[in-house]
Amino acid sequence: MRLLPASWPAYERQDGGKGVRNVVAVTYLVECAHHVAREITTPFRERGVHTIGFPGCYPNAYASEMLGSLCTHPNVGAVLLVSLGCESFPRAALEDRVAQSGRPVKTLVIQQAGGTRKTIEDGRRWVSDQLLALRDGARTTMWMEELIVGTICGGSDGTSGVTANPAVGRAFDRLVTDGAACIFEETLEMIGCEEHLAGRAVTAELGDELRASVAKAEHYSVAMGWPSFATGNASGGLTTIEEKSLGAYSKSGRLPVHGLLKPCDKPGRGGLYLLDVVPDGEARWGFANIADNVEVAELISCGAHVVLFTTGRGSVVGSAISPVIKICANPLTYTRMSDDMDVNAGRILDGEAMLDEVAHEICAATLRVAAGEPTASETLGHQEFILGYKSFEPAGPACHPAFGATGDRQER
């Protein structure tokens, strides 16, 4: 029996995608263009215009693919690329990719446009025109089977694994049962849980891949000399990486795992998927995730329309492109920071609600947000975004058993 609404209004894209937001993405292609991109965005920051971009000057395939996936995300309706002019980012290829998706796209090159002021003026004029055009854009009906939801935890404490994380896990169980695709990640925080994870894989080969992804995360953290365990975790009551791992793992729920994704991979159908965000190869790119918003961006690159973010200590971040629903694990934190939170899972600790009640509340909030209701972070103007250097090998057929033995994917 279906537990949630089957459909809601969405934005229709020419490439067949359906978005829950109608964002104009102003995208800088090197840090030298960041200020100009931000100034273009500023007058429109409450009208769905977001700044994203890549700070590096030398090329990186991961960063190029990330911006390609984000600029063609279903929540994006138009894209303005802002280039200094001498960076190595392949801007023509990115513009072509966006244009082929049917989205309006324009590239401004600061060195050719006449400098800072002229580029800002040109950019604001173009963005203003796109907002008018998007206002009258086509609407359609979005179905549960087309929804992709991601989850991450940040600012975790001793309550996270008791309230918010398992509540998200039960919400994932309901969403997947009703046809959605749900993505969890943080293999750096699943060390010790790999056998439990592999035991839920839909094939033995996928189970091996899941084990390997956690082993890679452990190797990477040892090489970097720092596990995914912050000072704030300890002062918040977490005692070991094993305890943190159990809490992070509980966000995945209880259903079978249908596949293993890497950044920019898209789930081809409903089900439960693990996202591996730890670079392949030796640890040469620095820490795998220098901030929670790296992982949020990677979830969105996999098509997540909405992201569920659990926190015990009290993270305030949102994101560009896709709305972030904040689920507070600690009732004391919720009392202090209620303006930043959407769901108070701390009621479980206070004996005011059961896990299933909060899970239903999370599902209901997800559907309301998908239908257009703003999240707390959106209301407060949070549009955090960060992107760095990484490298990944393509995921093999064993990672995608839902697509058949050949690994061929059926995109949404």
Quick: pLDDT tens for 259-273.
999 999 999 889 999
Q: Which SS3 state, helix, strand or coil, does residue 180 take?
A: coil
Mean pLDDT along residues 243-266: 88
**Backbone dihedral region for residue 84 (phi beyond 0: left; psi -120 to 50: alpha; all else: beta):** alpha
Quick: pLDDT tens for 70-101.
999 999 999 999 999 999 999 999 999 999 99
Q: What is the pLDDT of residue 326?
A: 98
More confident residue, 156 or 28: 28
Q: Is the pLDDT of residue 158 over 50?
A: yes
Q: What is the pLDDT of residue 246?
A: 65
Q: Is the pLDDT of residue 386 over 80?
A: yes
Band (pLDDT 50/70/90 cuts) for residue 411 is very low
Q: What is the pLDDT of residue 288?
A: 84
Q: What is the pLDDT of residue 222?
A: 86
Kindly state the percentage of the chain with pLDDT values over 70. Answer: 91
Q: Is the pLDDT of residue 404 over 60?
A: no
The pair of three-digit structure tokens given for residue 122, joined into one six-digit string: 């040109």
Q: Is the pLDDT of residue 3 over 80?
A: no
Band (pLDDT 50/70/90 cuts) for residue 148 is very high
Quick: pLDDT tens for 298-309.
999 999 999 999
Q: Give the architecture (CATH level 2) of 23-136.
A: 3-Layer(aba) Sandwich (3.40)
> Is-contact 195 254, C-beta < 8 A?
no
**What residue segments make up the domains of the chain, in order of their start?**
23-136, 144-403
Band (pLDDT 50/70/90 cuts) for residue 233 is low
Report how far apart, in Å, the C-alpha atoms of 408 and of each of 69, 89, 202, 400, 401 are. Answer: 19, 29, 17, 9, 10
Find residue 27's DSSP bridge partners. Answer: 52, 81
Q: What is the pLDDT of residue 115?
A: 98
> Is-contact 337 316, C-beta < 8 A?
yes
Q: Is the pLDDT of residue 323 over 70?
A: yes
Residue 67 burial class via C-beta count within 10 angstroms: exposed 0-12, middle 13-18, buried 19 and up: buried
Mean pLDDT along residues 407-411: 35
Q: What is the residue-averaged pLDDT of the chain? A: 91
Mean pLDDT along residues 153-165: 87
Q: Is the pLDDT of residue 329 over 90?
A: yes
Q: What angle, 0 to 180 degrees and rounded to 10, lies between the N-to-C axes of helices 34-41 and 116-135? A: 40
Taking the model in full, what pTM does it have? 0.93
Q: What is the pLDDT of residue 408?
A: 37
Q: Is the pLDDT of residue 405 over 50?
A: no
Residue 227 burial class via C-beta count within 10 angstroms: exposed 0-12, middle 13-18, buried 19 and up: middle
Q: How far apart are CA 210 and CA 201, in angstroms?
A: 8
DSSP string, 56-108: -SS--HHHHHHHHHHHTSTTEEEEEEEE-SSS-S-HHHHHHHHHHTT--EEEE
The pair of three-digit structure tokens given for residue 182, joined into one six-digit string: 């749900």
Q: What is the pLDDT of residue 377?
A: 98
Q: How far apart are CA 84 and CA 110, in angstroms?
A: 5
